[in-house]
Structure 1
């Protein structure tokens, strides 16, 4: 697949992804927040159930997975604090028989320094009785029932998912139904250090999943989709999955930038090919669209966005502020003016949720700064904003 493709709804997008996985082992998607990544993951899961007479084929991690855990503060006694577990989910099938806790602890110890303890109870489901977790308590050193942060909650839940994936790779009977793994935004609330560590661990596990063999030694790979709005995660994943590893076959995969040009439910996919897709390049394309005199709408917060991109560009080249970017602009008079404008107009309290239209003079200045910045650094912007009629429909 080459060029930008347009999809009229999530259903056709799911078809594209599942078709890709017929001859590829993994699909990487980069998309902004509010593009519809979580809904896409659920539609992908639902398609599997429809194709298999109601039987699932996809184990997924997304916002719904995290919602299986709810924090309990025990306001009455202020003692039994921890996470309540929605044990009715199939996510916890065979949990007690899998011996997951040592594997969870092995992963968790890489990213955090607290302990955990599951409480189990017998659950009657479909005429059978299962032992399932219903509560998790946390500790640190000698302190019991401690409160952990939201970020630590996310890490803990992620470690459970990784431990389950390990059992899937071991072909445990409780997860024989899993043919696809769909991971959506696993690290949205983590700092960069943990983000890189978790991404590398995930990439290592996914490489094993794509090279899985059955008991007869015949190739039996799991098919995988990973989506994220986190640029660091995406770039590390591209590097880890894309390069060949010693004594391992290369992972056959595709990388896309997923975009929703408007609120009408139309989606576009652009292959990112061999180069990791940088978030600030896509953001520049968004700003270029907003700056179009005929079809765009410029708001005061766009100055904040442009300054942020300039700061990232300067940092990429090892410089501490945007003066590096402005020095690339040939015209001395413009350079001084642009510097004053960016410093003045990018530090206001401009709310994205209550946007203020930009005045005409400022619009002209913004367009000139953006034009000169793009030209000076020769950015190759993604062609994701062409009119839908000009793209290949699907």
Structure 2
């Protein structure tokens, strides 16, 4: 990590830094580190960095000034020269600040997948005596999907199966852990096909049970679609992530989990179930997790369902190739506004699914918390007791359950009407700028 620590501050700059910026709750812990390592000049007009600082102190100061820059609304200069620097910054953020979750939003082409690879590489070590390579990061990205590849039986076109890369640590203890029984509950949340694993040959066969003329039949060796394959790989990863959460010995080496764009191949209408499920799994995990995505709705749901994440917008400056991170905690484009836009859009179109009640409940809960209430129902209109009871029950019932990502079921007409009434009442009672629903807003890209 290249060190970029200011050599000096003017008196006014230094006072603003120490008396204002470093007095905020987010940075107060760093104040003594800064004040201990700068000294006032003889003429009392400047403060200079002390000489002979250790590498450890210099690295800490560099991290502090990057943290301040990322959180500032005024500073817009790039903070990082390359992806390795960002990966190192994330490790300090997770370890020394004891952050548990980092959520990263970035447009395609910025370098999200390469950043996840850099983070993973930093945790790898090679034992020169044994030649054994150790790691500390379980990751999901495009490289993970490449661990699975098809043998389509081109000669006979009948025995089609998905091969596993047997040399990858991703598949540690595959047979002993009975992965079929661990993957299947995840898969059946999302899909209607099934599978078997040949643990000796490291291959997977897919099948589907269908009803023909009233009789149930099993169709073997099917070739699942690309989308179904991706959701299977995702469920395979979730099963392994559950093993990490459960502290299974085979995955005791995992210190971090890094997930990059797990829903890239799914339809926009289906990301809610995946994001909600992931957030629920993470909430029980005693593990540090980074998730990056280019998908606005997926990112929004995670931000609303995960407790106290570090929320960052990742950019690359095209003019010089340098990188920036920006704190998005107070950016209106994200979170409740984006979710409300999604709800209004589906309410107007009539394409309302059960999982849209999940989003509605999230917005109600966040609004209730903001106004100091303990329950989302405090934000439901209560001028009619009967309607209030029904609306509260509808939000409770419809915001729980498992939803197929391939065959989402629209709500019945009466439930759609309940949804519209709850949303319309909320938008009337809590005034938002109508312009956010009238046109698309574009994320500022400095």
- Please report the TM-score for the alignment, with normalisation by the length of structure 2: 0.56
Q: 1:137 aligns with which of 200, 205, 222?
A: 205
The aligned counterpart of 2:298 is 233
Q: 1:102: Cα distance to partner? A: 1.3
Separation in structure 1 between the aligned mates of residue 267 and residue 283 of structure 2, nearest angstrom: 24
Q: How does 1:333-348 map to 2 (within 5 A)?
A: none
Output the CA distance in 1 between the equivalents of 2:89 and 2:289: 14
Gaps of 5+ in 1: 122-132, 213-221, 242-250, 283-311, 321-372, 386-394
Q: Please state how far the C-alpha of 1:381 moved relative to its aligned partner.
A: 5.6
Going from structure 1 to structure 2, the CA distance change for 1:140 and 1:269 (only over 3 Å counts) comes to same
Cα 1:50/1:377, change in 2 over 3 Å: same
**Aligned: 1:80 with 2:155:** no
The corresponding residue for 1:57 is 136
* Partner secondary structure for residue 139 of structure 2: strand
Contact 2:328 2:334 in 1 (8 A): no
Within 5 Å, give how 1:1-394 maps onto structure 2.
1=67, 2-3=71-72, 4=76, 6-22=79-95, 23-50=98-125, 54-121=133-200, 134-141=202-209, 142-209=218-285, 212=286, 222-241=287-306, 251-262=307-318, 264-274=320-330, 277-278=333-334, 316=345, 382=444, 384-385=445-446
User: 1:74-116: CA deviations, max 9, x gaps?
Assistant: 1101111121111111100111111221121001001100010
Greater shift, 23-32 or 267-276, is seen at 267-276
Partners of 1:9 and 1:137 in 2: how far apart? 42
SS of aligned partner of 1:256: strand
CA distance in 1, matches of 2:230, 2:205: 15
- C-alpha separation in 2, matches of 1:168 and 1:149: 29
User: Does the residue aligned with 2:254 lie in a helix, a strand or coil?
Assistant: coil
- Tell me how far 1:313 sits from its aligned partner: 9.1
Counterpart CA distance in 2 for 1:78 and 1:180 is: 41
Distance 1:36-1:94 versus aligned 2 partners, 3 A rule: same
Q: Provide TM-score, normalisation by structure 1.
A: 0.63
More relative contact order, 1 or 2 (CA 8 Å, 6+ apart): 1
Q: Secondary structure at the match of 1:20?
A: helix
2:18 — aligned with what?
none
Instruction: Report the count of equivalent residues.
Output: 270
CA offsets 1:107-140 (integer angstroms, 9 cap, x no match) = 100110001011122xxxxxxxxxxx61111001
Aligned-CA RMSD value = 2.9
> Contact 1:235 / 1:276 at 8 angstroms: preserved in 2?
no
- Give the Cα–Cα distance (whole angstroms) in 2 for the partners of residues 52 and 188 of structure 1: 36
Query: Which runs of 5 or more residues in structure 2 are unaligned?
Result: 1-66, 210-217, 350-434
* Structure 1 residues 381 and 107, CA gap change in structure 2 (3 angstroms): closer
SS at 2:304 equivalent: helix
Q: Distance in 2 between matches of 1:179 and 1:169?
A: 11
